[in-house]
Amino acid sequence: MGTSKGHDLNARYTALSDRFRSQWTFYQFLAGVFKHQGKGDLPFRYDFQGLYERVKALVPMVGDGTSADVSTILEFEEVERQLKKIHDDLSRAEREFAPSLLRKFFDHLKKQDEKILFALAKFYLQHDALEQDVFDKVDILLTRLAERSLEDGVTRLRDRTELMRSFEHLQGLAAVPAVEPKEERALIRVVRDIYDELEGLEDFNALLSSGIVDRYRRLKQKLGATALHAPVLFEIVTTNVMLKNRFQSLYEDEEARILEDTNRVFEIERYLEKNPGVSHDELRAQLEAFRSSRERFDAGRKDNNLRRHDILALRKSMEGVLRAFDPKKDGTRATPSRQGGAATGADAGPFGSAPVDADDGTEIVELDEADRLEAAPRRSDAEFNLAMDVGEAEENPGVMSLLPPDPLLTTSLHKIVFALELVVWDHPLEQAVHAKELHHLRLEPWEVGTYLALMDGDLQPQTLPWELQVFFLMSAALRIKMEEEASEIVRLTGSGKREQLADLFERSAQSLERAREMDRRFQWFIDDMLYKGETQRLEEIYRSHFRFLHAFSALWLKQQESGGVTPF
């Protein structure tokens, strides 16, 4: 009898000390969440140190349990009452935070201690009633506990034996219904079917259209406390890790397509500003839907809480704009094709080729082969611009063939690429930027590195890393163009050359319009890096962005001071 009594008291003490550790940990965690949310300190304080001393003092009272008296039992009950009150207070305070906040909070933590995750999960399992939000939070915590991130960014599962031992311990804390072997096998098979379906999805659209995420969530809701049965729980966290990896992998490809289509919509908007007669009610409505969905999408990415329906809404709105702008939809609308050739002059649209004088302001002059060869050795800026405008570089397109066609930036891009082709690449990038061929362009090392990366062909086109490299080169070209135009405005102001100045104002206004969009794209890349926690190149893009803004603001001010009409 004494042995049984001692065993009960020891088990009671073990459970009590376990509850104390989990509540102390949860209290510190909740204090961090409050500060993270800007809510200040927790609305209550507890003497955890004093409570810890009381818990320790119970150890000699327990002994082998045979000598426990009434005072020992009363002390146990008093400490348990205090822990119950603390648990109830903390539960009420944390109930206002959705499961998504818990996930985002841990996203901000660089290092996540397994013991802390385990203690937080224990806290939730001590609830009297395990509501759906509690299950969702436990699901998040246990998935974090089960995963380990590798250097390649892929998440892997921890050792099965170790996880099963932890899950069996947690199962003992909650009122998990008994599961017969036959039922257990059936439940494991259902969860594995979800895993197998996830593994077979080919692209992000298939992931969204399949509805598998919602079906999986409903399955876990239906399982309720049975999901905490250790073998079933192991299959669930395994599938959770697979879902996380699959979503991330497929979304990276989708994100590059979203960026590309977003740029196409921006091109359409610019085209419509110059050609308002092409617009129509449906197209205007689709553009408004795009702006609204893009705001929600960007807000979700900034808050690290991007939702599937926001991605779907943005994709649907972009497709709506592109469909409404498509000439195949209504043959009466003379809009250009992506390959060009359907429209010319002022009618050339965002997906067509336009003559250089329509966008760049450079007069087109026909030179024969002898003229080009004669002009080649001197390579003044004017001669270089002229040669590029008549297509001299088409003999050896190189990097230019990899870049999207952009009449506004063609001259500046050719100027950069031509200078880069003259460099002997026997020095690090930090030294190469000071080479005599590049010095006048004042490029950053990573902007020069873009040329090498594209020439090497190591990057897969239309992926996000490829888009970033192209963006570095395109933004540098626009920066150089704006710097040159600002200097030219200063030179022509007061010279009496009014027609030349007016032409220059028109070209620089186009540069300023493009700069607004480029500024948004800088912010897009910055937000994306912060959202993913991939900040290795953040300093590079910040520096390029600040230099870009300096050129942008300088041109804007010079244009305004000299009497030009700014596009804002």
Question: What's the whole-number average pLDDT of the chain?
Answer: 77
Same domain, 199 and 298: no
φ/ψ of residue 449, rounded to 5: -60, -25
Q: Regarding predicted confidence, which is higher, 84 or 208?
A: 84
Residue 366 scores a pLDDT above 90: no
Going by pLDDT thresholds of 50, 70 and 90, the confidence category of residue 566 is: low
Contact 359, 510 (CB under 8 A): yes
306-337 pLDDT tens trace: 777 788 888 888 888 888 886 444 433 333 33
Tell me how far apart the alpha carbons of residues 413 and 473 are, in angstroms, rounded to a whole number. 8
Same domain, 362 and 487: yes
Tell me how far apart the alpha carbons of residues 55 and 365 are, in angstroms, rounded to a whole number. 91
Residue 533 scores a pLDDT above 60: yes
348 domain-assigned: yes
Same domain, 377 and 523: yes
Q: Regarding predicted confidence, which is higher, 154 or 465?
A: 465
Same domain, 424 and 549: yes
CB neighbours of 467 closer than 8 A, spacing ≥ 6? Answer: 256, 259, 260
Among residues 367, 404, 405, which one has the least CA distance to residue 387?
367
125 domain-assigned: yes
370-421 pLDDT tens trace: 333 333 333 333 333 333 333 333 333 467 777 777 888 888 887 888 777 7
Same domain, 498 and 384: yes
Would you state the pLDDT for residue 383?
A: 33
Same domain, 42 and 137: no
Same domain, 412 and 509: yes
Would you state the pLDDT for residue 476?
A: 93
Going by pLDDT thresholds of 50, 70 and 90, the confidence category of residue 478 is: very high
316 domain-assigned: yes
Would you state the pLDDT for residue 105?
A: 74
**% of the chain beyond a pLDDT of 90:** 13
Same domain, 436 and 555: yes
439 domain-assigned: yes
The number of folded domains in the chain is 4
Number of CB atoms found within 10 A of residue 359's CB: 18
127 domain-assigned: yes
Tell me how far apart the alpha carbons of residues 87 and 126 are, in angstroms, rounded to a whole number. 8
Going by pLDDT thresholds of 50, 70 and 90, the confidence category of residue 360 is: very low
Residue 188 scores a pLDDT above 50: yes
Same domain, 363 and 426: yes
Tell me how far apart the alpha carbons of residues 399 and 82 are, in angstroms, rounded to a whole number. 71
Residue 354 scores a pLDDT above 70: no
149-180 pLDDT tens trace: 665 556 788 888 888 988 888 887 777 888 89
Tell me how far apart the alpha carbons of residues 62 and 15 are, in angstroms, rounded to a whole number. 13
Same domain, 28 and 83: yes
> Looking at this protein, which amino acid is placed at residue 28?
Q
CB neighbours of 44 closer than 8 A, spacing ≥ 6? Answer: 89, 93
Q: Regarding predicted confidence, which is higher, 155 or 485?
A: 485
Interhelix angle for 230-274 vs 464-492, to 10°?
Answer: 30
Q: Tell me the mean pLDDT in the region 514-542.
A: 87
Same domain, 468 and 378: yes
Q: Tell me the mean pLDDT in the region 286-315.
A: 80
269 domain-assigned: no
335 domain-assigned: yes
235-252 pLDDT tens trace: 999 999 999 888 888 887
Q: Which of 195-204, 356-365, 422-431 has the lowest mean pLDDT?
A: 356-365
DSSP 381-442: HHHHHHHHHTTGGGGS-GGGGGSPP-TTTHHHHHHHHHHHHT----S-HHHHTTSTTTGGG-
291 domain-assigned: yes
Q: Regarding predicted confidence, which is higher, 399 or 542?
A: 542
Residue 261: CA atoms inside 13 Å, Cβ hemisphere, count? 21
Among residues 217, 96, 102, 237, which one has the least CA distance to residue 156?
237
213-229 pLDDT tens trace: 889 999 998 988 889 89
Strand 155-157 versus strand 147-149 pairing type: antiparallel
Tell me how far apart the alpha carbons of residues 219 and 197 are, in angstroms, rounded to a whole number. 14
Q: Tell me the mean pLDDT in the region 277-291.
A: 87
pTM here is 0.56
Tell me how far apart the alpha carbons of residues 182 and 159 are, in angstroms, rounded to a whole number. 25
Expressed as residue numbers, the domain containing 5 is 1-97
Same domain, 183 and 84: no
